[in-house]
Structure 1
Amino acid sequence: MTYEGVLTKMQTEFGDPIQYYLVFENSFLNVNQLFNKSIEINFEGYQCLNCKKKKKIFRQGCCYDCFYSSASVGDWIMKPELSTAHLGIEDRDLAYEEKVQLQPHIVYLALSSEVKVGVTRKTQVPTRWIDQGANEAIAIVEVPNRYLAGITEVALKNHYADKTNWRKMLTNNVEHVDLIAERLKLESLIPAEVKEYFFSEKNDLYQMHFPVLEYPVKVNSLNLDKTPNFQGKLSGIKGQYLLFEDGTVFNIRGSEGYIVKISV
């Protein structure tokens, strides 16, 4: 079987284990069904996810021009504390920013490589945690806009990591931490204007069970620009990564906008 199209992040379904789907324009593939099968990935070109033109991808699935002009990749995406829609102030497109920023957001602790703090829209729970390869995650606060979530994250970044060590995450080199107990310890660190939203009693710990036959001891990242043809046997999926028997790992989300042909 051959599947061809533009890579976008895998769609997921929360379950035991998590189900993964590659979705193309004219077909989709349940990736879980490919374990122990030989897969060939061929790089065919680029297509910007924003303007749809066949232009080299710069970042986040966008060509250079779209990365610096599209509202969907403004600085407030990566730095929620820069959100200004709640003040009626536009960054690139106020209507889009109001739609995304002025909705319930969660600040959370996740156990992916170590305990990390992060922000996501409430509608993205638990998808966000699956995408980053978290073994466990728990909400700290639920706030009405992205700005309040951002300033909470900034306050907590002095005490917790805010990025995942992808190598530790993919080798499952993760020390267990009691996230419920950890949440109770941080109430005093939360900004005053957010304290009313703090979850103190709620037992809402999520546990993610990823479909992995065997975790690699060492990992080597596949870069389609440098290796346009790759063949390997699939042994696991974690976060947005495909894991292969030889230790090669392929970041699907990091390759959004790449046109590929996948043969099974």
Structure 2
Amino acid sequence: MTYEGVLTKMQTEFGNPIQYYIVFENSFLNVNQLLDKKIEFSFLGYQCLNCSKKKKIYRQGHCYDCFYASPEVGDWIMKPELSTAHLGIADRDLEYETRVQLQPHIVYLALSSEVKVGVTRKTQMPTRWIDQGAEKAISIVEVPNRYLAGITEVELKNHFSDKTNWRKMLTNDILVDDLLQHKIKVESLLPDEVKEFFNPEHVDVYELNYPVLFYPKKVNSLNIEKTPVFEGKLIGIKGQYLIFEDGTVFNIRSFEGFIVKINV
């Protein structure tokens, strides 16, 4: 069968294992059902996720103009400490920023390659952890806005990584560590404005199980602009990556806004 459309990040459903879906405008694929089967990807063009024009994608699924204009990709997305909606100050669109920034946020520790610290809106749990391929995760604090989460992350980045080593994550070279013990230790590291939100009784450690038949020993990233047609046997899905038998991995999220054809 053939599917065609604009790539967006795979939608997920928490389960054992996690379920993955590639969703196009008029069709969708349950990717789990493609495990141990050959898939062919063909790159056809671009479509900006913001303006829908057939313009070359610059970053995060947006064309150049939209990347520097849309509130959905303001600097505060990647650097939540730059959030200013709680002060009534706009970056690009105060209405949008107020809606997104002034809601409960979680600062968490996750184990995807080694222990890392991160921030997500409460409504994005456990999606955020799934998207980064975390094996385990624990909430550190729940705060009422993105700014407080951001300054907490900045402080904890002095003690933990804030990035996932994608090669280790996709070869299952995962550090064995105790997230609960780390949570207990970080209380003293929190900014003064955030200490009141720390709850030592919240000790749930989330465990995530990915649909992977086996892990390759080495991985190489697929760039569909440079390799516009690729075929391979799917052996796993983790984070936002498809993992193929020959060690090729395809980061769907990196190619949002790309128009593709998929033959299965």
For the superposition of Structure 1 and Structure 2, which TM-score range results when normalised by the shorter chain?
over 0.9
Whether 1:228 and 2:241 are equivalent positions in the alignment is no
Instruction: Name the SS of the counterpart of 1:119 in structure 2.
Output: strand
Where 1:250 maps in the other structure, the secondary structure is strand
Task: Name the CA distance, whole Å, in 2 between partners of 1:90 and 1:193.
Answer: 22
SS at structure 2 position matched to 1:203 = coil
2:82 counterpart letter in structure 1: L
CA distance in 1: counterparts of 2:94 and 2:108, whole angstroms: 26
Q: CA deviation at 1:201?
A: 1.5
- 1:172-191 aligned at under 5 Å gives the runs 172-191=172-191
* TM-score normalised according to structure 2 size: 0.99
Deviation of 1:203 (Å): 2.1
Alignment of 1:103-182 (within 5 A): 103-182=103-182
Q: Which moved more, 1:168-177 or 1:196-205?
A: 196-205
- State the alpha-carbon separation in 2 of the partners of residues 75 and 48 from structure 1: 19
Contact 1:5 1:261 in 2 (8 A): yes
Give the letter aligned to residue 105 of structure 2: H
Percent identity for Structure 1 against Structure 2: 77
- Whichever residue aligns with residue 262 of structure 1, its letter is I
Report the Cα offset of residue 257 of structure 1: 0.3
Distance (whole Å) between structure 1 residues aligned to residue 181 and residue 163 of structure 2: 21
Q: Which amino acid aligns with 2:9?
A: K
Q: 1:233-254: CA deviations, max 9, x gaps?
A: 0000000000000000000001
Which residue number in structure 2 is paired with residue 195 of structure 1? 195
Task: Note if 1:56 corresponds to 2:65.
Answer: no
Separation in structure 1 between the aligned mates of residue 155 and residue 38 of structure 2, nearest angstrom: 46
- Report the Cα distance in structure 1 between the residues aligned to 2:126 and 2:176, rounded to whole angstroms: 19
TM-score by length of 1: 0.99
Q: Structure 2 unaligned runs (5+)?
A: none
> Cα distance, 1:176 vs. partner?
1.2
Other-structure match for 1:28: 28
- 1: CA distance, partners of 2:15 / 2:248: 25
Structure 1 position 123, deviation (Å) = 0.1
Q: What residue identity is the alignment partner of 2:161?
A: A
Deviation, 1:199, is 2.5
| 1:2-17 alignment runs, 5 A limit | 2-17=2-17
* 1:98-152 Cα distance to aligned partner (Å, 9 max, x none): 0000000000000011000000000000000000000000000000000000000
Gap runs ≥5 in structure 1: none
- The CA deviation string for residues 28-85 of structure 1, in whole angstroms up to 9 with x for no partner, is 1100000111100000000000000000000000000000000000000000000000
For 1:31, the aligned partner's letter is V
What is the identity, as a one-letter code, of the residue corresponding to 2:167? R
Partner Cα separation in structure 2 for residue 182 and residue 155 of structure 1: 14
Report the equivalent of 2:83.
83
How far did residue 204 of structure 1 move?
A: 1.6
Counterparts of 1:119 and 1:110, CA distance in 2: 10
Q: Which whole-Å CA distance do the structure 1 matches of 2:161 and 2:203 have between them?
A: 23
- Is the CA contact (8 Å cut-off) linking 1:139 and 1:199 kept in structure 2? no
- How far apart in 1 are the matches of 2:53 and 2:204? 43
Runs of 4 or more, structure 1, over 2 Å off, are: none
1:240 aligns with 2:256: no
CA distance in 2, matches of 1:103, 1:37: 42
Q: Does residue 1:259 correspond to 2:259, yes or no?
A: yes
- After superposition, give the CA deviation of every residue in 1:194-226 in whole Å (9 maximum; x if it has no partner): 001012121221100000001010001000110
Native 8 Å contact 1:46 1:258 kept in 2: yes
Q: What's the C-alpha RMSD, in Å, of the aligned pairs?
A: 0.5
1:95 corresponds to: 95
